[in-house]
Structure 1
Amino acid sequence: MESFLQYIVTNYTEISKNIKDPVLNTWLFMDSPTYMLCIYITYLIFVLKVGPKMMEKRPAFQLRTIMILHNMIQVFFSIGITSMGLNIIIKMFSDEYNSLYDTEIKYTGLTSGWWYFFGKLTELLDTIFFVLRKKQDQVSFLHIYHHSITVIFSWYCLKYLPGEQTIVVFTLNSAVHIIMYSYYFIAALGSKYKKYLWWKKCVTQSQLIQFGIWLIYEVLIIIFPNILTMECRTPKFLTYLLILKAIIFIYLFSDFYRKKYKTKTA
C-alpha cells in the first residue's frame, strides 16, 4: 500500500510539472479546476435532487425548438472539432512534423482541446432537458457517469496532457458525436420523422467501436511509447487512467446495448 501511494504521489508530481504552456492558464475555466468542479457539482445537484423535486408537481416542458437547436449546434460543433483534430493528426504523419509543441501545431491543438472541453460542458444540457421534460428514467447511472467523467477528464487532459495522445481521443469522440447528435436532431423533429431513425442501435455500436479503438491505441502507447512519432514525455499514470476509463465505458455501454437490444430480440 505504501509503495502504491508513493507511486500516486510521484506521478501526480510528474503530471503537475507537465504543463507546457502557461498561456493555457489565462483561458476561460483553465486557471483552476474550481470553475469546472462548481459547474459539475451544480449539474449533479440539479439533475439528481433540485430538478426532479421542482418538476414533481409541474407539467413537463416540451422544449422541442430548444432541443432541435441544441442538437443541430452540437452536430456542427462536433464536425468542427473533428476537422481540427484530423488536421493535426494528418500533420503528425507528415515529413515536416517534429513535435506537437511546434508553435503552430501546439496552438491549434490547445485551441481544439479547449473547444472540446467546452463542448463537454454544453452537453450537460442533455441531462437537464431530460429532467425538465420529466424523463427521469433516462437519467441513468450510465448517462450521469458518462457526462461527468468526460467533463472532468477533458479538463485534466487539456491541462496536464496537451498532446497527440488526447488529440486522437477527442477527435475520435467528436466524430462519434456527429452520428449521435444527428440522431438526436432527427428525433427532436417529431414523430413523423421516426421512420428515419431505424439506425438507433448504430449510435451505441459506434460508441463501442470508438472505445475499442481508444483502448487499443492507449495500450499500444504503453507497449510502443514512440508510436505515431510521439516523444516519450507523457506520464504513464495518465495513460493507465485513460485505459481504465475506456474499459469501464466498454463494460457500461456493452451492458446497455445488451439490455436495450439483445434482450428484445432473444
Structure 2
Amino acid sequence: MAQIIKFFDDIHTMMQNNGDPRTAKWPLMSSPLPTLAICLTYVYLVKVLGPRIMENKKPMELRNVLIYYNFFQVLFSLWLFCEIGMSGWLTGRYNLRCEPVDYSNHPVTIRMVHACWWYYFSKFTEFFDTIFFVLRKKNEHISTLHVIHHGVMPMSVWFGVKFTPGGHSTFFGLINTFVHIVMYTYYLLAALGPQYQKYLWWKKYLTTFQMVQFVAIMVHAFQLLFIDCNYPRAFVWFIGMHAVMFFFLFNEFYKQAYQKKGRIGVTKATVQKGASPNGKLTNGHVTDSAKSTSHTANGYSNSRAADYYVKASPEDLHLRSTSSIKVTAGASEVK
C-alpha cells in the first residue's frame, strides 16, 4: 500500500514540476484523474447504464435537439479554428517545419493557450454524439471503436494542455476543427429531413477528407524525428501514433461503409430488374420480402438516403461494426 501511495505522489510531483504553470490552476488541469474519471463514466454510461435504462422505454424523438446540437458544434468548431489559426498558424507566426512551445506570457501566446484548453473542452461536448444514440436506442452504433474514438480523446488532449499548450502539436487542433466544421455541417443537413437528401451526396468524400486529415497530421508530426527542433520527442510519437491509429480505423470504416455498400447495391438492382437473389425470374417484380423492407414503420423509404439520416443522423460517419449491415432478399437496410 505504501508503494502505491508513493507511486501516485511521484506522479503528482512530476505533474507539478513539469506541467505548464500557466494552465496549472485551470479547470480539470491540476491532475489527470478528473478527466480520466469523466471518460470512464462516459464509457459506463453509453455501454452499460444508458442502454439498461432505455431497455423498456420508447426511443426518444430528438430531431430538433440534433439540429440545435449540430448547429452549435459547427459554430464552436468554427470559433476554435479561428482562435487556433489567428494565434499562430494563419498569421505566419508559426512555422510548419518546426514550432517549439512558447512558454511566455505574450498576449498572442496566451490566446493560443486558451484555445488549447477550449479544444480540450470540446472533446467532452462530443460525448453527446453517443448519448443521443443511447436515448434513441441506436445501440448497434455504439461499437467499441466508436467509444474508444470519443473516450480516448479528452485524455489525450489533456496531456497537451498540461505540458505543451502551443507550438507544433496545435496543428492537430487546427486541422481537426476545420474537419469538424465540415462534418457537423453535414450532420446538420442530415438532421433537417428527407428534403435535404440532394445536399448529402458528398458523404463518401467527407470520410476521405477525414483520412487525409490524419495523413497530414502524421507527416507534420513525424517530420520532427528528422529535424532538430526544440520540441518534446515524446509528444511527436504520441501525436503521430494517434494519427496512424485513427487513419486505419477510418480506413476500415470506409471499406465497410462504401465498398460493401457498392456490392449490396448491385444485388438490389438485380432484384429490381426482375431477378431474385438466387437468379430466378420474378416476372419483373420485386419479391414480397424485398417490398416489406422498402418502408419503415414511419413510412420512410429505406431506399432513400435522407430517410435513413432523419432516423439515424448523425451516426453514419462514426465507427461501427460491420454487423450493422443486413441484406434482406437483395434489398439493403442500414440500421
Fold-level match, TM-score > 0.5? Answer: yes
Structure 1 unaligned spans of 5+:
1-11, 227-231
The equivalences for 1:158-169 within 5 A come to 158-169=161-172
Structure 1 residue 204: deviation in Å?
1.3
Q: Where does residue 100 of structure 1 map in the other structure? A: 102
The alpha carbon displacement at 1:35 in A equals: 1.9
2:257 to 253, 257, 260: 260
Residue identity over aligned pairs, in percent, reads 34
Given the two structures, how large is their TM-score scaled by the length of structure 1? 0.86
The answer as to 2:114 corresponding to 1:111 is: yes
- SS across alignment from 1:57: coil
Q: CA deviation at 1:144?
A: 1.0
Contact 1:16 1:160 in 2 (8 A): no
CA distance in 2, matches of 1:178, 1:46: 27
Aligned pairs (5 A) from 1:152-231: 152-226=155-229
Distance (Å, rounded) in 1 between the aligned partners of 2:85 and 2:109:
14
Q: Sort the Cα spacing of 1:205 and 1:29 in 2 relative to 1 into closer, same or farther, 3 A.
A: same
The whole-number CA distance in structure 1 between the counterparts of 2:111 and 2:224 is 22
1:162 and 1:214 map into 2 onto residues whose CA distance is 17
Q: What TM-score, normalized by structure 2, do the two folds share?
A: 0.69
d(CA) in 1 for partners of 2:144 and 2:260?
19
Q: 1:213 to 1:13 in 2, by over 3 A?
A: farther
Summarize the Cα distance change of 1:218–1:13 in structure 2 as closer, same or farther, 3 Å threshold. Answer: farther
Q: Does 1:39 align with 2:38?
A: yes
Report the Cα distance in structure 2 between the residues aligned to 1:92 and 1:244, rounded to whole angstroms: 23
- After superposition, what is the alpha-carbon deviation per residue over 1:12-39, rounded to whole angstroms, capped at 9, x for unaligned? 998875423x231221111222221221
From the two aligned structures, give the one with the greater helix fraction.
1
CA, structure 1 residues 199+16, in 2 after alignment: closer, same or farther (shift >3 Å)? farther
Consecutive unaligned residues of structure 2, counting only runs of 5 or more, are: 1-11, 264-335
Query: Over residues 156-208 of structure 1, what are the superposed CA-to-partner deviations in whole Å (9 max), with x where a residue is unaligned?
Result: 11111222122111111000000111011111112222221111112211110
CA distances 1:222-263 after superposition (whole Å, capped 9, x unpaired): 11133xxxxx142x1221122211111111100000110022
**Retained in 2: the 8 A contact 1:82–1:175?**
yes
For residue 249 of structure 1, the aligned residue among 246, 250, 262 is: 246
Q: Distance in 2 between matches of 1:185 and 1:106?
A: 33
* More RCO (CA 8 Å, sep 6+): 1
The alpha-carbon distance between structure 1 residues 101 and 153, as it changes in their structure 2 partners (threshold 3 A), is: same
The reply to whether residue 132 of structure 1 matches residue 131 of structure 2 is: no
- Mapped partners of 1:15, 1:211: distance in 2: 29
Partner of 1:4: none
Contact conserved, 1:18 with 1:161, CA < 8 A, in 2? no
Corresponding residue of 1:19: 19
Question: Mean Cα displacement is larger for which, 112-121 or 97-106?
Answer: 97-106
1:46, 1:59 → 2: CA distance? 18
Task: Give the Cα–Cα distance (whole angstroms) in 2 for the partners of residues 182 and 258 of structure 1.
Answer: 23
Bigger drift between 205-214 and 84-93 goes to 84-93
Task: State the match for 2:75 in structure 1.
Answer: 76
Q: Any idea what SS the aligned residue of 1:26 has?
A: coil
Instruction: Output the amino acid matched with 1:124.
Output: F
> Whole-Å Cα distance in 1 between the matches of residues 66 and 162 of structure 2?
31
- Tell me how far apart the structure 1 counterparts of residues 37 and 14 of structure 2 sit (CA, whole Å): 26
CA distance in 2, matches of 1:66, 1:222: 45
Contact between 2:189 and 2:196, CA under 8 Å: does it hold in 1? yes
1-side partners of 2:108 and 2:18: how far apart?
18
Which of 137-146 and 173-182 deviates more? 137-146
Residue 100 of structure 1 deviates from its aligned partner by: 2.8
How many residues align? The count is: 246
Counterparts of 1:138-149 in structure 2, within 5 Å, are 138-149=141-152
| Residues in 2 aligned to 1:193 and 1:107: alpha-carbon distance in whole angstroms | 42
Q: Does 1:50 align with 2:49?
A: yes
Q: CA RMSD in A?
A: 2.2
